[in-house]
Every structure is written in C-alpha cells, then in structure tokens.
Amino acid sequence: MDERVASVLADAVDAEPYEPRYELASDELRALYRTEAQTTRRGEARPGLWMAVAIYVLFSATDLLLIPDVAAYTITARFAVGLTALLILEEQLRRGVGTEWLDMTCAGAIIFGYVGWLSPAVMGAEKESVSYYMVFGTIFMMSANLFFTFRFKVSIITSTIILCILYIVNYFVPSTLTYKMVFGTFYISCFTFTSYVNWKLNEERFNVFLNALEAKIQHNEATERGKALLRLSRTDPLTGLENRRAIDEKLRDYWSDWQRVGTSFGAILIDVDFFKKFNDCYGHQEGDRCLIHVANALSEMIKQYHGSIGRYGGEEFIVLARVERKEQIMDLAEAICSTVENLALTHELRRDGVSIVTVSVGAAFTRTQTGAKLEKIIHEADRALYLAKAGGRNCARLFDPTDPQSSDESENIAALLKIAIGQNLVSLVYQPIQDVKSDRVEAVEALMRLKMLDGTSVPPSLFIPVAERTGAILALGRWAIRTVCAELLADDHVRVVSVNVSPIQLKTPGFATSVATILGETGVAGSRLAFEITEGLEMEMHSDILRCISDLKLLGIKIWLDDFGTGFAGLSWLRLIDFDTVKIDRSFLHDCGTPNGRAMLQDIITLVRNRGHKILVEGVETDEQMALMREFGIDKVQGFHVGRPAPAVSFQAKRTIRKRPFTVLKSA
C-alpha cells in the first residue's frame, strides 16, 4: 500500500502548485484516503462507542425528571441497547472484522438507542412533556454526523433514519399545528446543518490527509536525498567503492572493536603496478576502465571474506577484514594478487617481462593493543607495500616487525636520517676504479656510510631503502655531490668520481639545476662527475627521467648504468640512453667458474660492446679474475683486488693544487 500511496502522491505533488486541492482528488486518491481513514475509524470506534453509551445512560436522569412514569422502561432500554452494542463491538474487534462492520454497529447503536428510548417515552402520561422531550432526538442525529467519524454516506443514511423517525413521531404526538411546524422546521434545519458540517469535516479530513501525505513524501524525498548525498560523499565516483572518508570511518570502527573487545583485523594496501605507464600507453579513459575492472573483481572477491574495500586514491585500494590469524590476512593478500592477474588485462609496455595488469600488495595485522595508535596499522601496511614493490611487484608482503626493512628499527633510521647531515653522522668513502690497459686508477666511486649516535655503523642495504622511502635521499644526494666536489674534485685529487643517483632524485623537478648550482659553487667541471643509475624496477622510463638525464649530459656529466643484468629494464635503457659506461654486476664474474657462467658473461659483454658502451666489471678480487678481464678486453674493473673503500684523505695529493675557476653557462 505504501508504494501505491507514494506513486499516487508523487503525481499529486507534481501538479501545478496553485491548483485547488480538490482538483488533485482523483478517484484513486479518494480510494487511498478511504483506505487510510479505515485505520483511523477503527481506532476511534471503541472509545467513541463507550463514551456515547456512557452519555446515553447518564441521560437516564432526565428521564426521571421529565417522564417519571415511564422512566423505568426508558432506563432499562438505555442499558439494554448500550450493553448490547458494546458486547457486539468487542466481539467484532476480537474477531478482527472489517472497519465497515464496526461502522454499522456504531450506526445501529445510534438508531436503536433512539428507538429504544423513544418507544417507551412516547407512552408517558404527560404528553406535553413528551412532545418537548422529543427534541432530544436531534442529539442522535448530531451523533451520526458529528460525534462518530463515519463515511459521509453512512452518516447521511443514519441521520436520515433519525429524521424520519422524528417526523413520524412528531406527526402522531398530540400537539398544535404551530408546534408541528416549528419543530419540523427545526428538525430539517438541524439535519441540514449537521450534514453540511459533516461534509465539510470530511473534506477537511481529506485535505489533511493530502497535506499529511504530501509532507510525508516530501520528508521521504528529503531523507532519500540526504542519504544519496551521504552515499555520494562516501563513494568513489569512478569505481563505486567506498572512498577514503568512508573507509577511514570503517577503520575507526574496526580499531575500536579491537581495542574494546579484542576483535583482530587486517589492513591491506593495493597498488596497480606501472599504472602511469598504462595511462600513457592506452589513455586515461582506458586507465579508468582498468581501475573499474580491478575494483569490481576485488569487490566480488572480498565479499567471500566479509571484508570492506575502498579506493584510497589514484591507483591505490585498501581492504579491511576481520581475521583471527595473520596467516589469514596473508592468504587474502595473495588472493588479491591472483584475482587481478586472472583478469588478464593487457599491459604491453611494461618492462619487467609481464604483459598484463598486476598489483602489489602490502598487508598488516593487529598485534599488540598496548600503546597502539590507529594510524599504525596503515603505516605498517604501507611499509609492506613498499617492500612488495621493491621486491619485484606482482606480489604480496606481510609486515614483519622482525624484518629490519619493515620493522620499527627502520623508523629509528628514518629519524636518524633527518639529523644525519647536521650531526655529521653521514660520510663518504671511495673505492678505486682501475683502467685495465694502463693499470692506473682512473676514477673512484663514492660510497655513503651512516653511523648512529653511539657510533654504530648502519649498513647501506638498510638505510638507503629507508632514505628512498622517506625522501631523505634527496638531501643526502645533494650533500654527497657537494662533498665529492669539495673533497676530491675541486683540487684535482682524482680525475673522475662516480656517485650513485636514485631514481627518486631523477624524478624530482629541478635536480639537474641543483647539480649545476653545486658545480658552479665548487668550480668543478661536469665532466669530472659520473652518475651511476641503478637498473631497477623503480626506474620507470617516463619523460621526466629522460629529460633529467638529457640535462645532466648537457652539463658534461657522465651517465653510467649500474649493476647491469640484475634488473628487468636494462635492454630498454641501453636502447633509449647513450650510457658512457655499463657496470656489469659482480655475480656474473663470480659465476665464471662454470662453462655456462663464463659463456653468460661473454654474451653480456658482447651485447654491451655492440652498443658502443665502455664496460666496467665489479667484484674483481683475485689475480685470476683480473687476468680474465684482460682476456675479455674489459675497459675498467673495480673490486678488492684493485682497492677497498677508503676515506678521502687516502686519495688527496700531498701538494695542494690551485683551484681553477669554472663558470656554468646558462642557456638564454
């Protein structure tokens, strides 16, 4: 019925606002009004009849005063009719009969109440009193029209029967013609007036019904609009998933349950691999479709785990799920990887040997409630995601507090890196690079070292990833370049110094400009510097990096490709960038003890040489390896056989050479 009311009322509400209300009263709307009015009449039937019977019986006092000779009969009739009407009504209510039958019972009680009182009353001896007492019959007429909320038709029929009885009695009661005319006119007037008022009341009730329904539908529409706006504010417009605001609220609920009753849960961060490349290759519309496909697939899969998924921004998604063990959250993380991989969405420009869309996943699980903060689990998931991306992508990693790369120890290192330069906790050592033909040290490689406040050394394998993750590598990188120029290059202690440069530095706007500034301030020519770029998964070939490398080469800086053969993008980089030197990873030299290993190294050397690059092999530690390098015609070597890393003082000349001025030319 509610749907029917809403539909009809919607039509009524859509009508012209200044149309009279009765023009909206369609037959269907009238039917709805009658249907709803039945509920009102049903609720009013019992109290209305009980009150009417009580008043009806109380009028027994007037019978004793005005018609005492027949009062016993009229009073008996009053009690008999009233009690009978109440018993019938209660039985009908108990049986749940229709509202129309309740109306008929109440209307019958009015008619029989009047007839039951009138029949013995007219038999009274005092005819004059009886004739005047009959005027009380109009009370029954008014009851039908005004006291009970009958349908208008029932009220008219009931009051008409009362009117007819009044006229019949008025005709037979001995009285003058004037009396009959006056009271006959009074009866007609009373009938007309009460019927008109009843009609007006019914129309007013109908208008109230319309207004109430209109207000109800407007309230419902406002409520729905409010809910829609709330859903919109909590929904990602592209994927239809919950947005960051909604998922943050859900995270607080999960966290509250965990803190309050110990209901553990896991948080999973999901990042679409090489999504920028996907957009660059296929366009942003296809990129949006890719995210929608991934979102839909993950949403269906997460339902099996009764978890929640939202879009955390860009190509990153987040999943929250209540689990009891960390193994369960890891299973879910791996299922996420498999789900996206099974979509087999084409991604042909990836440089890691995969040609479909994949995701990297970082997961964290609630551990200890003591002193825990809400943001901690997301921070842990983010660190696990970083390790997943650094570990090859298309994989899942669970935060492990015992892993130095993801544990709280890395946070201590991150804090240490912020003060490392100011507190002189960071330093450089230099490892020599030897020219194979001349046996002379032609260059050195600058290697960064970090110590803690108590003097304990921190391995580069530990602090470099933290520096890259936190962005501290930018300040450390500028410091390293400036220190190299000041310690060795400004006074010509060595010819060339190579410095390792992170992809994050190359992506940073203004990096080449900052290098040019350092060269100008220290008076060092760009040709004295070499930047080693590590071939890795983070080294995405987009325009910003290529432009930065081009700007660096304009400054005269040599660009070396470090650790060639250990990553996935090497061949593409050899094709796109004219490297001055390619450093072959030490693992290939150390595998030369086997025929296959020797053949592999020869193949790599041939490949690089055909591209016209100079070759440097790392890890030369023995005379035999050095002899092999001469046999293979390698240009440069580096390793413990040549020299171990040493402080700058080991390479500084005994005499001080006057520094030559150097001016950086600026383009117009």
Give the separation between CA 210 and CA 207, rounded to whole angstroms: 5
Residues 6+ apart with CB under 8 A from 265: 254, 257, 258, 320, 321, 322, 323, 365, 366
Question: Could you report the per-residue pLDDT of 457-478, keeping only the tens digit for each?
Answer: 888 888 888 888 788 999 999 9
The pair of structure tokens assigned to 21 is 């209300």
pLDDT of residue 658: 44
Instruction: For 271-305, give the secondary structure using H, E and C.
Output: EECCHHHHHHHHCHHHHHHHHHHHHHHHHHHHHCC
Average pLDDT (436-442) is 91
Least confident of 84-93, 108-117, 130-139, 253-262: 130-139
| Per-residue pLDDT, 153 | 84
Average pLDDT rounded to a whole number, residues 104-111: 85
Question: Which range is least confidently modeled, 236-250, 371-385, 446-460, 519-533?
Answer: 371-385
Half-sphere exposure of 300 (CA within 13 A, CB side): 8
pLDDT digits (tens, 9 = 90+) for 374-397: 778 888 898 889 888 877 788 999
CA dihedral 551, 556, 557, 561 (to 10 degrees): 80
pLDDT > 90: what percent of the chain? 30
Residue 249 has pLDDT above 80, yes or no: yes
pLDDT band at 415 (very low <50, low <70, confident <90, very high): confident
For the stretch 149-206, pLDDT in tens is 777 788 888 888 888 887 787 777 666 777 778 777 877 888 888 888 878 887 887 7
Query: CB neighbours of 624 closer than 8 A, spacing ≥ 6?
Result: none
Tens digits of residue pLDDT in 556-565:
999 998 888 7
The whole-number average pLDDT for the span 644-656 is 77
For the annotated catalytic residues, the residue numbers are 315
Spatial separation of the C-alpha atoms in residues 450 and 140, rounded to whole Å: 105
Is residue 444 within 8 A of residue 497, CB to CB? The reply is: yes
DSSP sequence for 189-225: HHHHHHHHHHHHHHHHHHHHHHHHHHHHHHHHHHHHH
Residues 128 and 251: their CA atoms lie apart, in Å, by 89
Q: What pLDDT sits at residue 593?
A: 83
With cut-offs at 50, 70 and 90, classify the pLDDT of residue 410.
low
Question: What per-residue confidence (pLDDT) applies to 404?
Answer: 55
Rounded Cα distance, 553 and 550, in Å: 5
Strands (E), 460-589: 496-501, 529-534, 558-564, 581-584
Q: DSSP readout, 377-414?
A: HHHHHHHHHHHHHHTTSSSEEE--TTSTTTSHHHHHHH
Q: Are 67 and 126 in contact (CB under 8 A)?
A: yes
Residue 531: which pLDDT band, with cuts at 50, 70 and 90?
Answer: very high
Counting beta carbons within 10 angstroms of the beta carbon of residue 650, is it exposed (0 to 12), middle (13 to 18) or buried (19 or more)? middle
- pLDDT at res. 33: 67
The rounded mean pLDDT for the chain is: 82
**CA-atom Rg of the chain in angstroms:** 48
Could you tell me the pLDDT band of residue 316, with boundaries at 50, 70 and 90? very high
Residue 537's pLDDT is 43
